[in-house]
Amino acid sequence: MIIAVSVLFFTLLVLGVPIGFTIGLAGLAGLYFINMDLAFFSMAPLQYFSGLDMFTLLAMPFFILAGEIMNRTGITERLVQFANILVGHLRGGLAHANILASVFFAGMTGAAVSDTAAIGTMLIPAMEKDGYDRDFAAAVTASSSIIGPTIPPSNMMVIYGSLMNVSIAGLFAAGFLPGILLAGLLMIIAAIFSVKRGYPKSKRSSLKEMLIGFRNALIPLFMPVIILGGILSGIFTPTEAAAVAVAYAAVIGFLVLKSLSLKDIPAMLIKTSRITGVVFLIIGTASILSWVLSFSQVPQKIAALMLSVTDNPKLILLMILGLMVAVGLFMDIAAALIILGPILHPIAVSMGIEPIHFGIIMVLSLNIALMTPPVGACLFVACSIADLKLSQLSRAILPFIVVEIIALFIVAYVPWFSLFLPRLLGF
């Protein structure tokens, strides 16, 4: 039965059927093979809605809407300017500013594709005009954008925490240091290329310019302080924090910066609904398939297979990392997280890996897939902005992929990076 379901799943995937429908059809096929009775399909709507019946999932559309509002207020330019003031004097300053802007941007939206579009639209043309190779500029933009879903707030963490019953606040706290590590390693590889190729640097900003830049960036930078400070201090839940983020973004857009108008609201709500609808469709259909896999004891069989190869926890973790990176190459990362989470989470916990630590491992490993061919969403956005072929950008981004895989292994095998802050804060 599992073989037939797997063949159907990958056949539909290769044919280009949307991932939500692919997962749903595979789940329905599994239900039929289990009982060989069409009446058994009544399990499908039950599992579909039970998969969505989680209050914490409401945080996702609110965070998406907050990001949309902040994008339309024009604060991306403020963040980029502030990042350039801080690191523009270094060799390859705009590349470093690109990476640092992604760190700032992460605290607002937590969405890699939005990061690529917003920052790439500004910095890829600016970097090319300043003498950077176009493929290098696009590679820096796409690779740094995955910092967004790593540093909280992160929709991937909301999904994982909801499905695996892991503290979302704890996951948010655990994402900080891995995100900073990722940014630091990307800045190192960017510096090496910048020195080697002789990319330019800007003059060091004066204290007055720094203060002005900080003042302009203070409004957007205060948003993650409110969100994360409120969550980690226990003032409000992640779902309530997401609603507060929307309110804060709206006040800034309408009353402070006055860059939003009522006519902007419908477009933002429509885009938020589309993104949320796609993800919720995947979550619902994946719940059907997850039930089929659990009923067929697939997680136990995979665990037994891994243990038959080795009982060394480090080698099993290596196998899990390889599986997640490989699956991420061909599947939507939200779908991969929803399908693989219930399978791999129990295996990891049985090996003594903390649930929060494994959650960060899963999020980071699947985020890397956003910048890897053939289906990396950030690659396609960067290619569109830079007017590059996928093959050109794929070659340019390869060193950055290697660096991010190194970061993944550091996070996976040095739990301190993920667990220091959660333990410090009592999670």
pLDDT, tens digit, for every residue of 337-374? 878 888 888 888 888 889 999 999 998 988 888 787 76
Q: What is the 8-class DSSP label of residue 425?
A: T
- Decide: 321 and 273 in contact? Cβ < 8 Å: no
| Position 1 confidence tier, pLDDT thresholds 50, 70, 90 | low
pLDDT, tens digit, for every residue of 183-221? 999 999 999 999 998 888 777 777 777 888 888 777 777
Residues 6+ apart with CB under 8 A from 200: 91, 92, 93, 130, 131
Q: CA 160 to CA 171: how far, in whole Å?
A: 9
pLDDT of residue 40: 60
Where would I find the H helices in 260-332? 265-295, 298-309, 313-328
pLDDT of residue 112: 75
Q: What is the 8-class DSSP label of residue 235?
A: S
CA 334 to chain centre: 9
- Decide: 306 and 394 in contact? Cβ < 8 Å: no
CA 250 to chain centre: 24
Q: Is 165 left (phi over 0), alpha (psi -120 to 50) or beta?
A: left
Q: What is the pTM of this model?
A: 0.81
Which amino acid is present at 228? Answer: L
Q: CA 313 to CA 310: how far, in whole Å?
A: 8
- Does the CA dihedral 60-101-406-393 come out positive or negative? positive
- Decide: 324 and 58 in contact? Cβ < 8 Å: no
Place of tokens 């060193």: 399
Mean pLDDT across 297-311? 74
Q: Rg for the chain (alpha carbons), in Å?
A: 22
Q: Is 232 left (phi over 0), alpha (psi -120 to 50) or beta?
A: alpha
Torsion of the alpha carbons at 176, 180, 182 and 188, rounded to the nearest 10:
180
Residue 3 burial class via C-beta count within 10 angstroms: exposed 0-12, middle 13-18, buried 19 and up = exposed
| Position 272 confidence tier, pLDDT thresholds 50, 70, 90 | confident
Largest CA distance in the chain: 74
Mean residue pLDDT of the chain comes to 81
Question: Within 13 Å of residue 220, how many CA atoms lie on the same side as its CB?
Answer: 33
pLDDT of residue 39: 56
Residue 271 sits at the vertex; the CA angle it makes with 270 and 272, to the nearest 5 degrees, is 90
| Position 155 confidence tier, pLDDT thresholds 50, 70, 90 | confident
Q: CA 16 to CA 147: how far, in whole Å?
A: 28
pLDDT, tens digit, for every residue of 386-405? 888 878 888 889 999 999 99
pLDDT of residue 188: 94
